[in-house]
Amino acid sequence: MRLLLVEDDDRIAGPLTEGLARYGFTVELARTAAAALAAAPVDLVLLDLGLPDMDGIDVCKALRSRSDVPIIMITARTDEADRVVGLELGADDYLSKPFGTRELVARVRAVTRRTQAAGRQGGPAADRVAGTAGAPASWTGQADSAQRVGPMTIDRRTHRVELYGRQIALAPKEFDVLEYLAQDPGALCSRQQIMDTVWDPHYFGPTRTLDVHVSALRRKLGDPAWIETVRGVGFRLIDPTGGAT
Ligand code: CA
């Protein structure tokens, strides 16, 4: 899936581009409104509202006047009026700075699902569908917020986890680690990917922090087999009941 990131600040664009690439997105960068409007068609636009040559709101309007490409506004502005205007002009969602890569990816996927379900034409439909093929299958065809992995239900909206219908109390970072692993059950997630996403790309603290959280998760889930350790590499989420996910 190809994204156009319209952002003039390299300190934001750099880490964002790297983060999105780790999730399999191809990111084209436009540092000005002019470059954004001249860019080749993409599957989704991430649009910063504070641009040097033109107001992002006007870029949104111009993009929408010629295509149905999904648009997520990125704004440092706290002014709600901007968001409302942007949404009225056809933006699909907005995200306020600062935000994490994980949150952005969740929004990108949600907007993509929504616009596909609405049958909108932002680019060739086949491309859009193929674009989600890189995403874990568990993300597609699911309600927006809840995901089942065997007897476990993870609700991203409420941050609640249930196992056999009973709620498991998790600390925020424990939830984030579990939620990250659950994006693609069975897939190997490297320690670096997890650290970068759940903590921060610039987190240089002890990596033992991750092991502590994984240990706590195993204990709370009542079966260490839920999270398999791949020595020296990372972790994967396994449904120990062997049920289809
Ligand atoms: Ca800016």
Residue 133: strand, helix, or coil? helix
Report how far ligand 1's centroid is from the alpha carbon of 8 (Å).
5
Q: Between residues 15 and 89, which one has the greater pLDDT?
A: 15
Q: Is the dihedral of CA 206, 209, 212, 218 positive or negative?
A: negative
Q: Encode pLDDT of 167-198 as tens digits.
A: 999 888 899 999 999 988 888 888 888 887 88
- What CATH number corresponds to the domain at position 80? 3.40.50.2300
Report how far ligand 1's centroid is from the alpha carbon of 48 (Å).
6
Specify the pLDDT at position 119. 66
C-beta separation of 50 from 75 below 8 A: yes
- Provide the domain limits for residue 81: 2-129
Report how far ligand 1's centroid is from the alpha carbon of 9 (Å).
5
Specify the pLDDT at position 146. 83
Query: Does any domain span residue 137?
Result: no
Q: Encode pLDDT of 140-165 as tens digits.
A: 333 457 888 999 999 887 889 999 99
Same domain for 124 and 149? no
Report how far ligand 1's centroid is from the alpha carbon of 24 (Å).
24
Q: Does pLDDT of 33 surpass 90?
A: yes
Same domain for 10 and 123? yes
Query: Does any domain span residue 242?
Result: no
Please state, in angstroms and rounded to a whole number, the distance separating the CA atoms of residues 225 and 219.
10
Q: Does pLDDT of 201 surpass 70?
A: no
Q: Encode pLDDT of 106-122 as tens digits.
A: 889 888 877 776 666 54
Q: Does pLDDT of 129 surpass 80?
A: no
